[in-house]
Chains A and B, each alone.
Chain A
């Protein structure tokens, strides 16, 4: 091919999107594409969007590819890959002006009202849009509109290619039809001039152990690749090229990052009740029931599915009392039920970890969509007042190390620790270097074993809630001779026996709350918050959790345009690092808070604890994660319009 005559090409910077009906192989197709890129030394970040449904509803998968690490998804797709009509209707308008659409040629005549799974609101908006454009209501009409805007069209005769595949493999057509997703992926890589061998390698990985499936999909890939190369030669202005690297990399999801952190921390009991989007983590753990240890032995990891979430947290607490590093994973509705058990862990000072993947709420809300709506809830969950530690991760890097931190803090401060994540992080997949575990420590706090007990033990028992300066009392494990203790959900004395004595009550409240002060004193500043950007910045971005990626990328774009920014990412939410945050915010000319919720929960918290109010709120509550573009535009609007910019800007990207 003669590139000299082709258009100016963008190399190794791509936003790719594939869609289709749930159950039709969208996930595996995206997985194949992402892995194909990853094997070629490229960095990949994927985000999966899907309905709370098994078959038929529209799901899609965005993949960003680059030769540098990618932190967030973009709204615009450079290449839209489809094999059904709905995907084109839903996403065609989001394709970049210079981008392209791969689609099934036979679907061109599909009218808008023949796609039953389209949401009524969307169908109506699309109808108005097409009518305004003065065109008809078929897929072809929509494609003609976007093509006028510069989008390239790549109609693929999937049926012909499948027919050929069936003939070559001597299999019935119905049997090879499932390979249509592979045809679509291969067609897109052909446009990107990325070698078919990478697809083949990825197919072998995704369909490992199913030799016949691999073989037919490999052949499908070759057919599509040939067709595209012959038909649309050297046409697409974006290309992927393998990059040489010596770096070892893994490809994993957010739930897997958390699971790895749990395993490294020595978690040996995980309980759960099935709930989106938390369950994947438990399923991954359950498929690794025996953990290799450095001393050559194996450690058991029990994953216990319980009858409900009250049982899930109570089982974990029971295991933690016995001495296991125990955790449970859930989402908002499950956590609502766990609040009762949380209170028990608070008053009995039990180290238990709760991994909470936030999702669209309230009530059942949007089970498979994201939100950062539970911050206020977890801070105050439970009747009365009591200590807990709350930390929130911003990406898969933090998710892993934070999970280890959660276990260490749980044992050091003898409190329940809530690790906040969300659906967006759960369903993010990315390539990254292997986690460096060298600096990781296991800290078990004031845990006494039999050899520590002579002297500490009185008559075979210990004062489990002994008053101490830091609020933390020495703890034993059942089975320890001389270490007998009592726990009770009632208020108790130092021995753990029920009391209603006003003096003991006062001291016991103070003892429990003292632990938060101890934790606030001991936890290093850099684990409480991340600060990005220089001190010369006049405007400060304030945020937490999964919005981090889009903010960091948007900042890079804005800095390149001459808007230097500082970004304060709050990671420890309880005990709240009010002083540290205030120091970072002081003197800021403009503060923009960015959150994936309705009210700007962190911003309100900062105002409550520091008296400093954000000037602008960029919020999003449509259930979709933040995109780089909308965060960029939102911040820029606040910076350029200043006082004129609205106090609250609602971000709306996402399909």
Chain B
């Protein structure tokens, strides 16, 4: 029984370009929330800056459209202050892996229980198509005066080395599959990263919906041979579980590496990595600070009915006493 998906929609006019992959991701987010029956007021959606970041205005949950590259620190602060919230962060690849690359890495180190989707289209859309961090060396999308002079970063490999405990790839034009991936990411305890391939119809004339769908190559029956394929249909097992031996984990890492680097003729989507052996940051905090579980920082009562602080400084004064 899903909650009516309309409950997760706002009437804000959507001003993305027609045909933008962002629509698919937006729909997938709204449908995942409805299928998971997450009450809108229990969800906080954060975004960076760019086309993708406007997502929060189209979703009826608590929505915070932050700063370029900074979505993860904001989302992390909110989640740690109130771990009862379901926190989802979104942004583009320029936002998250360019100006926000440092935060991306450090969020992985923490493993706070949140989900981060990068709308990965290889270009800075809102500033009219400059090369973004995932665009590969030598590639020339249509706004570029010269082919890209930088190498592209592989978000999946970066996520693994940073310590994300859930790493997946989605495709903006396969919404049912993307819903499944987002759902698993939200359900995962820890930092979940989803790299969503999101064709930008206006500025990326190379990584198009047609290209991903293989319209340029047909089989004998004249049917396109899609480049994107699902890992789930390939028998791929992403799980690293407690008790697994070193060898087994190493084998998983090697397979992850193969899949994460596969590109061109075959591009895998699905869940590539789920590490269930790492505590969340919240777990680590609870271990250090027992009161963290019972008194969430955001919900801690601060004053008595007369407005006097609830804090009792007696013990602290005692610690500093000299007379």
A435 touches B292 (CB 8 A): no
The complex places the Cα of A319 from the Cα of B112 at a distance, in Å, of: 14
CB contact under 8 A between A490 and B65, given known A314-B73, A326-B77: yes
Q: Mark B51-79, 1 if CB is under 8 A from A, else 0.
A: 00010110011111111001001111111
A319 touches B65 (CB 8 A): no
B300 touches A266 (CB 8 A): yes
The complex places the Cα of A333 from the Cα of B298 at a distance, in Å, of: 29
A302 touches B323 (CB 8 A): no
B321 touches A249 (CB 8 A): yes
CB within 8 Å of B: which of A393-407? 404
Give the contacting residue for B290; candidates A248, A290, A291, A477; CB below 8 A: A290
A271 touches B77 (CB 8 A): yes
The complex places the Cα of A442 from the Cα of B320 at a distance, in Å, of: 24
B102 touches A307 (CB 8 A): yes
Q: Mark A84-113, 1 if CB is under 8 A from B, else 0.
A: 000000000000000000000000000000
Give the contacting residue for B298; candidates A35, A245, A304, A323; CB below 8 A: A323
- Shortest CB-to-CB span from A195 to chain B, Å, is 16
The complex places the Cα of A306 from the Cα of B103 at a distance, in Å, of: 9
CB contact under 8 A between A265 and B309, given known A248-B321, A316-B77, A318-B77: yes
Contacts of A269 in B (CB 8 A): 77, 80-81, 297
The complex places the Cα of A321 from the Cα of B66 at a distance, in Å, of: 12
Chain A facing B: main interface SS: mixed
Q: Mark B274-300, 1 if CB is under 8 A from A, else 0.
A: 000000000001001111101111111
Q: Is A41 at the interface (CB under 8 A from chain B)?
A: yes
B304 touches A487 (CB 8 A): no
Q: Is A217 at the interface (CB under 8 A from chain B)?
A: no
Contacts of A321 in B (CB 8 A): 64, 74, 77-78
The complex places the Cα of A306 from the Cα of B41 at a distance, in Å, of: 28
- Shortest CB-to-CB span from B114 to chain A, Å, is 11
**B64 closest partner in A (C-beta):** A487
A289 touches B289 (CB 8 A): yes
B77 touches A478 (CB 8 A): no
The complex places the Cα of A483 from the Cα of B314 at a distance, in Å, of: 37
From A164-172, A250-258, A543-551, give the one contacting chain B. A250-258
Q: Is B303 at the interface (CB under 8 A from chain A)?
A: yes
Contacts of A288 in B (CB 8 A): 316
Q: Is B308 at the interface (CB under 8 A from chain A)?
A: yes
- Shortest CB-to-CB span from B26 to chain A, Å, is 15
The complex places the Cα of A435 from the Cα of B311 at a distance, in Å, of: 13
- Shortest CB-to-CB span from B136 to chain A, Å, is 27
Contacts of A314 in B (CB 8 A): 66-67, 70, 73-74, 77
B contacts with A, residue count (CB < 8 A): 69
CB contact under 8 A between A479 and B60, given known A266-B303, A302-B285: no
CB contact under 8 A between A498 and B54, given known A263-B316, A484-B41: yes
The winner among B78, B105, B297, B312 for most chain A CB atoms within 10 A is B297
Q: Is A363 at the interface (CB under 8 A from chain B)?
A: no
Give the contacting residue for A478; candidates B57, B78, B316; CB below 8 A: B78
Q: Is B90 at the interface (CB under 8 A from chain A)?
A: no
Q: Is B307 at the interface (CB under 8 A from chain A)?
A: yes
Contacts of A248 in B (CB 8 A): 317, 321, 323
Q: Is A344 at the interface (CB under 8 A from chain B)?
A: yes
Contacts of A306 in B (CB 8 A): 73, 106
Contacts of B82 in A (CB 8 A): 322-324, 477-479
The complex places the Cα of A261 from the Cα of B303 at a distance, in Å, of: 15
Contacts of A41 in B (CB 8 A): 323
**B57 closest partner in A (C-beta):** A497
B313 touches A322 (CB 8 A): no
The complex places the Cα of A471 from the Cα of B74 at a distance, in Å, of: 25
CB contact under 8 A between A437 and B77, given known A300-B292, A481-B39: no
CB contact under 8 A between A260 and B81, given known A268-B297, A302-B292, A480-B41: no
The complex places the Cα of A263 from the Cα of B316 at a distance, in Å, of: 10
Contacts of B70 in A (CB 8 A): 310-311, 314, 340-341
- Shortest CB-to-CB span from B123 to chain A, Å, is 21
The winner among B10, B41, B294 for most chain A CB atoms within 10 A is B41
Q: Is B1 at the interface (CB under 8 A from chain A)?
A: no
Contacts of B298 in A (CB 8 A): 268, 319, 322-324, 477, 479
Q: Is B128 at the interface (CB under 8 A from chain A)?
A: no
CB contact under 8 A between A295 and B65, given known A271-B77, A488-B57: no
- Shortest CB-to-CB span from B33 to chain A, Å, is 13
Contacts of B81 in A (CB 8 A): 268-269, 302, 318-320, 322-324, 326
Contacts of A289 in B (CB 8 A): 288-289
Q: Is B201 at the interface (CB under 8 A from chain A)?
A: no
Q: Mark B191-211, 1 if CB is under 8 A from A, else 0.
A: 000000000000000000000
Give the contacting residue for B73; candidates A315, A326, A437, A481; CB below 8 A: A315
CB within 8 Å of A: which of B118-142? none
- Shortest CB-to-CB span from A462 to chain B, Å, is 11
**A253 closest partner in B (C-beta):** B320
Q: Is B251 at the interface (CB under 8 A from chain A)?
A: no
Contacts of B295 in A (CB 8 A): 297-300
B73 touches A300 (CB 8 A): no
- Shortest CB-to-CB span from B262 to chain A, Å, is 31
- Shortest CB-to-CB span from A338 to chain B, Å, is 11
Contacts of B285 in A (CB 8 A): 300, 302
Contacts of B168 in A (CB 8 A): none
B297 touches A324 (CB 8 A): yes
Q: Is A292 at the interface (CB under 8 A from chain B)?
A: yes
- Shortest CB-to-CB span from B52 to chain A, Å, is 14
A318 touches B75 (CB 8 A): yes
Q: Is B302 at the interface (CB under 8 A from chain A)?
A: yes
Contacts of B296 in A (CB 8 A): 300
The complex places the Cα of A498 from the Cα of B58 at a distance, in Å, of: 11
The winner among A41, A249, A294, A480 for most chain B CB atoms within 10 A is A294
Q: Is A485 at the interface (CB under 8 A from chain B)?
A: yes
**A438 closest partner in B (C-beta):** B308
A435 touches B313 (CB 8 A): yes
A252 touches B320 (CB 8 A): yes
- Shortest CB-to-CB span from B306 to chain A, Å, is 8
**A496 closest partner in B (C-beta):** B63
**A293 closest partner in B (C-beta):** B310
The complex places the Cα of A256 from the Cα of B313 at a distance, in Å, of: 13
- Shortest CB-to-CB span from A177 to chain B, Å, is 29
CB contact under 8 A between A245 and B49, given known A289-B288, A437-B313: no
Q: Mark A579-621, 1 if CB is under 8 A from B, else 0.
A: 0000000000000000000000000000000000000000000
Nearest 8 pairs of A and B residues by beta carbon: A318-B77, A268-B297, A323-B298, A314-B73, A488-B65, A315-B77, A266-B302, A298-B291
Q: Interface of A with B (CB < 8 Å)?
A: 35, 38-39, 41, 245, 247-252, 256, 260, 263-266, 268-269, 271, 288-295, 297-302, 304, 306-308, 310-312, 314-326, 340-341, 344, 404, 431, 434-435, 437-438, 440-444, 460-461, 477-490, 496-498
Q: Interface of B with A (CB < 8 Å)?
A: 10, 12, 39-42, 44, 46, 49, 54, 56-57, 60-67, 70, 73-82, 84-85, 102-103, 105-106, 285, 288-292, 294-304, 307-317, 320-323
The contact sample of 14 A-B pairs, CB cut-off 8 A, is A35-B322, A39-B323, A289-B289, A292-B311, A295-B310, A297-B295, A311-B106, A315-B77, A318-B79, A319-B298, A323-B297, A344-B67, A486-B57, A486-B64
Q: With contacts A307-B105, A322-B298 known, what are 4 further pairs, Cβ within 8 A?
A: A294-B312, A315-B80, A323-B82, A437-B309
